[in-house]
């Protein structure tokens, strides 16, 4: 029995010695690692892979992750760490406690992982290439730096595509980086590059081939426009008709027909209209021709009788009976009129065109007018036919055959027949301009093209729209400028960006102002003071802008050159040979050669309009000509700008008309006088109206009681 007990104790001792021996090797490995004896540590760790895999692989990962030894290899460091992770997950509590004494636990593994990610990220940033970021993402896609790596990779890839600026480059970017922030712009630029490259020859054949090969391109209309322009360089009758025959499906055919008609019948005489119809019996706008035939030469003015409105001609003869509650002037052969709280249109024969059954009727645009009835909106054509059913909450102005519309509180876009082209997914929408429209969703704005593709992501607080080719935008309180491709020409970082005029936009930042061009470059640096109201007076007008420096005003041109010295208290616009300038409390006029043509003697001075400028002293207004000569001494209570050699003048007795020589054309006895056209003025007195013809200096029509004295009440 004693021998049996001794044998058992010996086994226990031997087993204990074996544990100590194994634990000692692992500890010696970490001891060697601590004193940078990488050869010994590596050998010991390799020997412990079977007994203590989590600790051994961790140690090997640490060695491979350090760059001060010949075993440094970051990819291997990560592979070893992954193996350590797997082994640690599989280890039981006893093993974890055992290797924990050597410093191997989940925190250590996490720290090593962060170290590998950081070293790999530093190496990637140092190389800063698309390939480097791709490799990083492929190997370390779970790292915290992966998101930034993807952003930088996408930016570099897009910049590479931009530098190449080819359809192939953009197509490759779209295919490889569909989740990138630049995807919207890339798609737009792809379409533009396809169009540009396919039509580089600039020939009719090139544009025809583009239309055949890319029938869904948003640039189809551009190609059709170029075919139209190239086919009709002189817009002659022969060219226009040849174009109509050759390209019957081109969207410019209606314009070509109308242009041909206008060329052929320029005098709008009965004989030429008859000859035109005989030559071109297939003319599609026959009703318009018939109306032109009848009434092309008529000029009609609204008149009132017994509280109802109608129209008279230039001789004061009633042409359309006073049968309406209100009327608007004729535009393009039709006038909007109202009766019994409904609106419609009539032609110059007094015939209803758009039935007077609608709550509201807007002006015709592209042959369509928006109408509303019973809270629903639609559109009618120029002949009054209902083109877009009354089933929308709102219908906007048509542009290139598309208009925004609302339904059930959401906005989308429809065609000229009311078909949905872009789904009703937006909270607000605006009209298309240059093929782009602003849309709003959840309080933020973006831009779509005519296919409904997002050109600009929905991330801005305000987008102006692309009527001028580019668009101002706002993020928070800062303004910038977008190109029609959706890229930022000016980052939204400025206090104010004005509308583009003469190719330049006022830019204000931190109390200073300058001017940016349409490419987003600061053509005129931020070197002037942004005085009070600069957004109103600081924009370019007729090639000149008012600037402020050290409390003094002057004018510069679009090149930034000083035109009028910056030495005045105020300056006005340079709209002719002279500009108003102010010193102390008085105004004068200076010419472009900086010569003072009118000394500082007026309390107020305005810019030249049609060769004359208004001036004022002591509350009285007069007139100077473009040489600075005073042609009307300031003695009128009010005086309008010159129009066709005539001014509307006012004294205490009333209002009338005078010439630029201060000759009275219409006595100053009336309540109001305003021009209807170059020949006729509408005159008001005692809430009655009349029409006065300048050439004959007489009234052609007066409303009843027009001449009666004013009531004493």
| Distance separating alpha carbons of residues 234 and 230, to the nearest angstrom | 9
Q: For the segment 347-387, what is each residue's pLDDT rounded down to a tens digit? A: 888 889 899 999 999 998 888 899 999 999 999 988 788 99
pLDDT score for 3: 36
What does the pLDDT read at residue 297?
73
> What is the SS3 assignment for 422?
strand
Question: Per-residue confidence at 293, pLDDT binned at 50, 70, 90?
Answer: confident
pLDDT number for residue 708: 63
| Cα–Cα dist 74/86, whole Å | 19
Residue ranges covered by each domain of the chain: 495-560, 569-630, 637-713
Nearest alpha-carbon partner for 501 in 531, 549, 537 = 537
Q: pLDDT digit string (tens) for 396-428?
A: 999 888 999 999 999 999 999 999 999 999 999
Closest among 241, 245, 221 to 232, alpha carbons compared: 241
Q: Per CATH, is 495-560 categorized as 2.60.40?
A: no
Tens-digit pLDDT profile for residues 589-605: 999 999 999 999 999 99
* Rounded mean pLDDT, 607-621: 97
- For 687, phi then psi, to 5°, come to 65, 20
Report whether 547 contacts 554 (CB < 8 A): yes
Q: Would you state the pLDDT for residue 270?
A: 64
pLDDT at 709: 59
Nearest 5°: CA angle at 502, between 501 and 505? 45
* Res 5: pLDDT: 29
Tens of pLDDT, residue by residue over 543-556, are 999 999 999 999 99
190, 191, 197, 201: CA torsion to nearest 10: -170
Q: For the segment 622-668, what is each residue's pLDDT rounded down to a tens digit?
A: 999 999 999 999 999 999 999 999 999 999 999 999 999 999 999 99
- The yes or no reply on domain 569-630 and CATH 2.40.10 is yes
293 compared with 566, residue with greater pLDDT = 566
CA-wise closest residue to 668 among 686, 682, 652, 679? 652
DSSP annotation of 578 reads: E
Q: Tokens 């048509």 map to which residue?
A: 398
Closest CA to 89 of 57, 113, 54, 61: 54
pLDDT at 45 over 90: yes
| The pLDDT of residue 428 | 98
Q: Could you tell me which CATH number the domain at 637-713 has?
A: 2.40.10
pLDDT at 453: 95
Phi-psi region of 469 (alpha: psi -120 to 50; beta: other; left: phi over 0): left
Q: At what angle do helices 93-100 and 53-65 cross, to 10 degrees?
A: 40
Q: 128 pLDDT exceeds 60?
A: yes
pLDDT above 60: residue 508? yes
Confidence band, pLDDT 50/70/90 cuts, at residue 533: very high
Same fold, 569-630 and 637-713: yes
């Amino acid at each position: 029995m004693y021998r049996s007990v001794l044998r058992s104790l010996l086994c226990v001792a031997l087993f204990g010695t074996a544990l100590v021996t194994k634990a000692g090797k692992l500890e010696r490995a970490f001891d060697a690692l601590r004193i940078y004896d990488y050869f010994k540590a590596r050998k010991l760790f390799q020997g412990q892979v079977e007994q203590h895999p989590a600790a051994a692989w961790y140690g090997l990962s640490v060695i491979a992750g350090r760059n001060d030894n010949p075993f440094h290899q970051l990819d291997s460091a990560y592979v070893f760490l992954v193996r350590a992770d797997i082994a640690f997950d599989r280890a039981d509590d006893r093993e974890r406690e055992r290797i924990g004494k050597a410093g191997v636990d989940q925190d250590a593994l996490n720290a090593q992982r962060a170290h590998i990610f950081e070293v790999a990220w530093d190496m990637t940033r140092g190389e800063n290439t698309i390939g480097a970021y791709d490799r990083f993402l492929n190997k370390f896609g779970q790292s915290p730096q992966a998101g930034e790596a993807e952003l930088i990779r996408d930016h570099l890839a897009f910049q590479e595509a931009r530098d190449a600026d080819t359809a192939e480059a953009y197509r490759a970017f779209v295919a490889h980086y569909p989740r990138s922030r630049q995807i919207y712009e890339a798609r737009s630029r792809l379409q533009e590059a396809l169009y540009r490259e396919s039509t580089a020859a600039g020939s009719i054949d090139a544009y025809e081939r583009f239309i055949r090969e890319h029938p869904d391109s948003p640039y189809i209309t551009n190609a059709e426009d170029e075919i139209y322009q190239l086919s009709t360089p002189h817009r002659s009758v022969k060219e226009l008709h040849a174009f109509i025959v050759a390209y019957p499906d081109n969207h410019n055919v209606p314009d070509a027909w109308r242009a041909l008609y206008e060329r052929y019948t320029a005098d709008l005489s009965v004989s030429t209209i008859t000859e035109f119809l005989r030559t071109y019996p297939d003319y599609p706008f026959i009703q318009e021709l018939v109306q032109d035939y009848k009434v092309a030469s008529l000029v009609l003015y609204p008149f009132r009788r017994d509280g109802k409105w109608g129209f008279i001609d230039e001789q004061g003869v009633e042409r359309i009976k006073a049968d309406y509650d209100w009327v608007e002037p004729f535009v393009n052969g039709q006038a909007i009129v109202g009766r019994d709280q409904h609106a419609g249109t009539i032609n110059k024969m007094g015939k209803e065109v758009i039935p007077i059954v609608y709550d509201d009727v807007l002006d015709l645009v592209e042959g369509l007018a928006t109408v509303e009835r019973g809270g629903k909106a639609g559109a009618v054509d120029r002949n009054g036919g209902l083109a877009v059913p009354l089933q929308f909450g709102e219908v906007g102005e048509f542009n290139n055959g598309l208009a925004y519309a609302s339904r059930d509180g959401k906005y989308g876009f429809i065609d000229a027949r009311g078909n949905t082209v872009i789904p009703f997914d937006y909270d607000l929408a605006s009209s298309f301009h240059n093929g782009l429209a602003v849309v709003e969703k959840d309080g933020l704005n973006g831009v779509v093209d005519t296919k409904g593709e997002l050109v600009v992501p929905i991330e801005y607080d305000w987008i102006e729209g692309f009527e001028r080719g580019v668009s101002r935008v706002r993020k928070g309180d800062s303004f910038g400028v977008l190109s029609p491709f959706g890229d930022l020409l000016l980052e939204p970082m400025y206090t104010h960006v004005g509308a583009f005029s003469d190719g330049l936009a006022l830019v204000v930042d931190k109390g200073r102002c300058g001017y940016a061009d349409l490419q987003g470059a600061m053509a005129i640096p931020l070197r002037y003071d942004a005085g009070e109201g600069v957004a109103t007076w600081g924009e370019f007008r007729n090639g000149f802008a008012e600037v402020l420096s050290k409390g003094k005003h002057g004018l510069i041109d679009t090149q930034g050159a000083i035109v009028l010295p910056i030495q005045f208290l105020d300056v006005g616009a340079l709209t002719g040979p002279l500009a108003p300038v102010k010193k102390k409390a008085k105004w004068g006029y200076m010419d472009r050669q900086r010569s003072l043509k009118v000394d500082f003697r007026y309390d107020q001075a305005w810019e030249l309009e049609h060769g004359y400028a208004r001036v004022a002293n002591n509350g009285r207004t007069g007139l100077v000509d473009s040489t600075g000569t005073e042609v009307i001494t300031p003695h009128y209570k009010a005086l309008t700008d010159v129009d066709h050699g005539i001014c509307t003048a006012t004294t205490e007795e009333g209002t009338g008309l005078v010439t630029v020589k201060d000759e009275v054309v219409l006595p100053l006895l009336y309540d109001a006088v305003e021009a209807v056209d170059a020949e006729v003025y509408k005159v008001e007195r005692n809430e009655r109206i009349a029409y006065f013809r300048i050439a004959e200096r007489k009234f052609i029509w007066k409303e009843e009681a027009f001449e009666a004295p004013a009531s004493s009440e």
